[in-house]
Amino acid sequence: MAGARALQKEKTRQAIIDAALMHLSADHSFASLSLREVAREAGIAPTSFYRHFNDMEELGLTLVDESGLTLRELMRKARQRIEKNGSVINTSVETFMEFVERNPNIFRLLLRERSGTSVKFREAVAREVNHFKDELTEYLMAESDYSQEFAYTLAEGLVTLVFNAGAEALDLNPIEREKLKERTILQLRFITFGAAGVKEKA
């Protein structure tokens, strides 16, 4: 057997995860999402939830992990594009914004739940964001000859700017979103250019 039992279980587990992500929106954070709401949306009895997760927190951590996977996939895609295309900044922002547009709820989860959640949850989110900072730090060190510390500071600034732009883009119409994108690209130019300049003088 392929485990018809286990298969069905995995299916409802996904239904729960999907239901939770589905219910995220600007006015409905994960923190304000109830177990019963999720169960209702997933089409199971409230008590059946416990066959899959001990807790809403456990579900939350799972969501963050899943989102992280999607994000890293995005990064890989961006890197490929850069190799073919050239412009690092433009391509990165472009890819990022595309992702935000396609997976707004994942983004809400990773960028807007800065309070009202458990310590573990916030730590998990921070870990995902740090992946970004770390990978970018390495990239910068390989590209230029910045010290680890210097590169990290720059990477942190870049990630902060891009992620924040992403968070803001969530509520904007396409026109304003485009403007935001252009401003963000310019800001990234400023900070990379500035870093190169400051480093030179030292």
Partner DNA sequence: TAAATTAGCGTACACTTGTACGCTAAGTCT
Partner DNA sequence: AGACTTAGCGTACAAGTGTACGCTAATTTA
Binding site for DNA (CB under 7 A): 1, 3-6, 8-9, 11-12, 34-37, 43-52, 55-56
Q: Which is nearer to DNA, 119 or 175 (CB)?
A: 119
Instruction: Check: CB of residue 191 under 8 Å from CB of residue 158.
Output: yes
Please name which of 185, 161, 184, 163 lies closest in space to residue 100, comparing C-alpha atoms: 163
Least Å from the CB of residue 54 to a copy of itself: 18
Which of 31, 35, 44, 75 binds a copy of itself (CB under 8 A)? It is: 31
- What are the tokens at 192? 């990379």
User: Which of DNA, a copy of itself, none does residue 55 bind to, with CB < 5 to 8 Å depending on kind?
Assistant: DNA
Q: Is 128 in the site for a copy of itself (CB under 8 A)?
A: no
Q: Which is nearer to DNA, 11 or 76 (CB)?
A: 11
Name the residue with tokens 């510390």. Answer: 149
Binding to a copy of itself by CB under 8 A, coded x per residue (else -) over 137-176, reads ---------------xxx-xx--xx--x--x---x-----
Within 10 A of 31 (CB to CB), how many other CB atoms are there? 14
Q: Is 67 in the site for a copy of itself (CB under 8 A)?
A: no
Q: Which is nearer to a copy of itself, 15 or 129 (CB)?
A: 129
Name the residue with tokens 């922002």. Answer: 93
User: Which of a copy of itself, DNA, none does residue 120 bind to, with CB < 5 to 8 Å depending on kind?
Assistant: none
How distant, in Å, are the alpha carbons of 46, 165, 174 from that of 179?
44, 11, 9
Q: Is 194 in the site for a copy of itself (CB under 8 A)?
A: yes
Surface-to-core class of residue 114, CB atoms within 10 Å of its CB (0-12 exposed, 13-18 middle, 19+ buried): exposed
120-124-130 Cα angle (round to 5): 140
Binding to a copy of itself by CB under 8 A, coded x per residue (else -) over 97-126, reads -----------x--xxxxxxxxx--x----
User: Which of a copy of itself, DNA, none does residue 154 bind to, with CB < 5 to 8 Å depending on kind?
Assistant: a copy of itself
Quick check: helix, strand or coil at residue 181?
helix
Name the residue with tokens 């309070």. Answer: 115
